[in-house]
Amino acid sequence: MLFSHSKQLFKKMTQNSSLQNWLIESPKYTIFRINKLMQLNVVNLQNYLEEQRKELNSDSIPKYYFLKPDCLVIEQWPAPLTLEKTNNEVIVDPLCAAAVLRGAHVYAPGVLGLPSNCVINERIDIYGSMDGQCKRGHKVKYEGNKQYVGTGYLKMLRSNLFEKGVQPNGIAVQTLLPASRLPVINETIFPKGQVLLQNLPSIIAGWVVNAQPYEYILDMCAAPGNKTTHLGEMSDNKAVIIAIDKTIQKCAKIQQTCDTQGVTCVKAYAYDSTKCHSDDTENNIMKPPFCSNTFDKILLDAPCSGLGQRPQLNNNISLKMLHSYKFVQRKLFDVAVKILKINGKLIYSTCTVTVDENEGMVSWVLEKFPCLKLIPAEPLYGGPGLPNVGLSDKERVMVQRFGPEDDDLRPVEDIYRNTIGFFIAAFVKTEDYNT
């Protein structure tokens, strides 16, 4: 369950009372983005799921299908499907517990406690510490507030995990079945770079950008590069894509993502995006800072509070920090408007659920920048924006909010409701920006 501080925070910052319960639940689908530059052979997936079916003694494998050629959906294992509890348990931190519920293995840094009598490759139950009281290195059975999140096979002993002076890494528990019944997919069954585990709204944000060959596109806050590479693949590796993030380390991660997926049309730069505009008209288009009216399209996937992640088992963000994000987002908008070409397209997205960072930001943008016109963030799969928070019905039907809400303005299919909390808005620049 969410810490009480987080409950108060969500009540204060959100408009929908059902949102808290929705956020602590796991999504019902696993989503892979398929690399358009490579050909996918689903036989490997079929064979892999068939092997798992036998081990789990299930009557059938999970359903899977393509929403689009670059988006593979895998459903939960059919119910009922349960495995007997074991006598041993591993305690993990809340972030690791949430990852297990999403279909991940347990990696060593997330382990808090493990008894000393466990044996490699034996099945062990996985519990998340929900009260923050379990300290790293816990040796006996933990009796505090804990939640069962799955079961798997132990791959590391206490000596591997907690030996003094050693920073553990690698898989500590190979997850067999999460409590959410989401399949655990080993990406190594696919050729390197062919698939990428990615949240569905994040993929949809790329569809809204709709990168085309020879366009000049800026990804303003690009690390780790998942959306960046999607744009490159979408353009058949023929767009000119500039990816910016603040540190050399983050840019190295972007480059690594591009290399893995065979995307060669991206140039990554370590730069502060709030300062990437210059009045110098002689600046090189390929390197920040950029002069006015440079880019055909800009993706502003902004730094945000991240309160749309699911399952959200705990959150320690302070109200002060929460309120700070909108000011950074406003600075980024101010720069983006300047360096976007007239008739250029600006896509704004967040992975959070707060009004301030979503509908409130759109309302602020429309008032602050008369040169920007809100347009439908097509293709429209999420629900409309929330009512009575600054946008008219005409405006809120143009944006996409992914959450539990039902709204007659646009009914939403189950798959788009059972993902993470996310928001997408699109604008076109109709005239030059005069400060």
How confident is the model over 60-100, as pLDDT tens digits?
999 999 999 999 999 999 988 878 999 899 999 999 999 99
Span 265-276, average pLDDT: 97
Whether 252 has a pLDDT exceeding 90, the answer reads yes
Name the band, by pLDDT with cuts 50, 70 and 90, for residue 102: very high
> Which pLDDT belongs to residue 389?
94
Token pair, residue 273, equals 């995006």
The arithmetic mean of pLDDT across residues 121-148, rounded, is 91
* Tens digits of residue pLDDT in 167-187: 888 999 999 999 999 999 988
- 285, amino acid identity: I
Residue 166 pLDDT greater than 50, yes or no: yes
Cis bond upstream, residue 178 (ω within 30): no
pLDDT at residue 429, rounded to an integer: 98
Per-residue confidence (pLDDT) for residue 163, from 0 to 100: 80
pLDDT band at 314 (very low <50, low <70, confident <90, very high): confident
Q: Which two three-digit tokens encode residue 344? A: 């250029």
- Local structure of residue 280 (DSSP, 8 states): -
Q: What is the mean pLDDT of residues 176-205?
A: 94
Q: How far apart are CA 298 and CA 422, in angstroms?
A: 18
Q: What is the mean pLDDT of residues 1-30?
A: 67
110 secondary structure, DSSP code: G
Ramachandran angles phi, psi of 267, nearest 5°: -115, 125
Q: What pLDDT score does 296 carry? A: 98
The b-or-e profile of 213-238 (16+ CB within 10 A means b, else e) is: eebbbbbbbbbebbbbbbbbbbbebe
Q: What mean pLDDT do residues 50-68 have?
A: 95
* For residue 372, pLDDT beyond 50: yes
DSSP label at residue 298 = E
* Range scoring the smallest mean pLDDT among 54-63, 187-196, 331-340: 187-196
> pLDDT by residue (tens digit) across 125-137?
999 998 878 998 8
Task: Classify residue 203 by burial, with Cβ atoms within 10 Å: 0-12, 13-18, 19+.
Answer: buried
| Residue whose tokens read 């997408």 | 424
Residue 433 is which amino acid? Y
Q: For residue 3, name the pLDDT band (cuts at 50, 70, 90).
A: very low
pLDDT computed for residue 132 by the predictor? 78
Per-residue pLDDT at 16: 54
- Measured torsion, CA atoms of residues 337, 341, 343, 345, in degrees rounded to the nearest 10: -60
Query: 291-315 as b/e, with b when 16 or more CB fall inside 10 Å?
Result: bbebbbbbbbbbbbbbbbbbbbbbb
132: left (phi over 0), alpha (psi -120 to 50) or beta: left
Active site residues: 351
Quick one: average pLDDT of 42-65?
Answer: 94
Residues 6+ apart with CB under 8 A from 101: 26, 149, 150, 178, 179, 180, 182, 311
pLDDT at 242 (0 to 100): 98
Q: With bands split at pLDDT 50, 70 and 90, how would you rate the model's confidence at 286?
A: confident
- Least Cα distance to 183 among 263, 98, 300, 76 occurs for 76
Residue 314 half-sphere exposure, CB side, CA atoms within 13 Å? 18
Residue that the structure tokens 């519990």 belong to: 127
- Provide the pLDDT for residue 1: 36
- pLDDT score at 201: 98
For residues 317 and 341, the model is more confident at 341
Instruction: Please tell me the predicted confidence (pLDDT) of residue 2.
Output: 40
pLDDT value at residue 17 = 62
Q: Among candidates 142, 155, 151, which has minimal Cα distance to 180?
A: 151
| 5 pLDDT higher than 50 | no
Three-state DSSP class for residue 373:
strand
- Does position 9 have pLDDT exceeding 80, yes or no? no
Which domains can be identified in the chain, with CATH numbers? 4-80 (no CATH), 89-178 (2.30.130.10), 197-429 (3.40.50.150)
Q: For residue 338, what pLDDT is reported?
A: 97
Among 434, 424, 386, CA closest to 19: 386
Residue 159 has pLDDT above 90, yes or no: no
Instruction: Provide the pLDDT confidence category of residue 20 given band limits of 50, 70 and 90.
Output: confident
pLDDT reported for residue 329: 98
The whole-number pLDDT of residue 187 equals: 81
pLDDT number for residue 262: 96
Q: How many CB atoms sit inside 10 A of residue 404's CB?
A: 18
Partners of 346 in beta bridges: 298, 427
Q: In whole numbers, what is the pLDDT of the chain averaged over residues? A: 92
pLDDT at site 87: 87
